Amino acid sequence: MKFAIMINEGPYTHQATDSAYLFARAALAKGHEVTRVFFYHDGVNNATRLTVPPADDRHIVNRWSELAKAHDLDLVVCIAAAQRRGLMDENEAKRQGKDANNIAPGFRISGLGQLVEAGIQSDRLVVFGD
């Protein structure tokens, strides 16, 4: 089965991110395909490379980056939601006249069309968070 995943909540503020990560990992372990993980609303905060959790806590951003690398996952961050929250890749930072970027490895910024496409190409779109 092909799954697309949408995450609407930020890390460390809601169970949605951890549940989505565990769902994706379990689906991949069972041989299913995850066509895309789309981060929307506060969910875009899962993509910042500047997250520094305490040493005894899980590092959610790194978990997503590592899972993406291991399984060639497409981690897409909504550009409009990212801009509102100060999250930018190198190209967007240049376009907006900013002097830095803060997107974590494995994530990319794109538009809502990527969510629509993922829903069309997948058997199920699973949404985590409000």
**Annotated catalytic residue 78:** yes
- Is there a contact between 79 and 92 (Cβ–Cβ < 8 Å)? yes
Of 16, 78, 88, 104, the active-site residue reads 78
Give whole-number Cα distances, 16 to 7, 8, 20, 27, 120, in Å: 7, 8, 6, 16, 23
C-alpha 30/C-alpha 28 separation (Å) is 5
Tokens of 27: 């689906």
What residues are labeled active site? 78
